[in-house]
Structure 1
Amino acid sequence: MINYHNKKFKAISNSSNGEVSSEVVFHYIQVGNILTCEYAGGKIVKGHLIGLVDDKGNIDMRYHQVNDSGNIMTGTCKSTPEILPNGKIRLHESCASV
């Protein structure tokens, strides 16, 4: 299992209707297979996620966030890791708003 504890991530791309930008910093905390995260930046004032990490490092998570217009957004996301040649982790995500 990949351990995401204390790792920070930034988006490099997003869907056309998404609010996540390269200004958003995701700070992951992992205990066992439970992953939590706080994030903020760009149009997102504050966000949290909670998820489960499987044996291959895939993450099944739920998120909620407040944007700079005062709207609450919630959704689900599945992340698949890719280990880059430099040892860094790139997450490929498929997310859906609820």
Structure 2
Amino acid sequence: MSNSVNGEVSDSTIFHYHQENEIIWAEYCGGDIHKGFLIGKMINQTLEFTYQHLNQSLEIMTGKCKTHIELNEEDKIELHEKWEWTCKDFSKGKSILIEV
């Protein structure tokens, strides 16, 4: 897992993804994230979604993300994300999430 310095997701954050046809959603928590949710859609090998979570300081954080899906050398799913906060400083970042 890797993340930009302005992100709140870490190696301790666990995502539980779900899919129904092109609709995707997930719950996530751990590390700096107290409780989070995302919802969006899949187009080919790309996910587009919005997310919101409460961090450990109980701040409401929101954002949007475009994610490209890849398989790594170990046949694990990797999510290569480009995201942007839609709150606070509206900064952007990149993350890579790896299937456990």
Unaligned runs of 5+ in 2: 87-100
> Runs ≥4 in structure 1, deviation > 2 angstroms?
none
Partner Cα separation in structure 1 for residue 31 and residue 75 of structure 2: 27
Q: Distance between the aligned counterparts of 1:49 and 1:34, measured in 2?
A: 11
Q: Post-superposition shift, 1:36?
A: 0.5
- The one of 60, 66, 69 equivalent to 1:72 is 60
TM-score normalised by structure 2 residue count: 0.83
C-alpha displacement of 1:28: 0.2
**1:17 match:** 6
Look up the match of 1:90. 78
Range moving further from structure 2, 21-30 or 83-92: 83-92
Question: Is 1:49–2:49 an aligned residue pair?
Answer: no
Q: Larger strand proportion, structure 1 or 2?
A: 2
RMSD: 0.8
Aligned length: 86
Whole-angstrom CA distance in 1 between matches of 2:50 and 2:26: 10
How many percent identity over aligned positions?
44
Structure 1 residues without counterparts, runs of 5 or longer: 1-11
- Greater CA drift, 61-70 or 83-92: 83-92
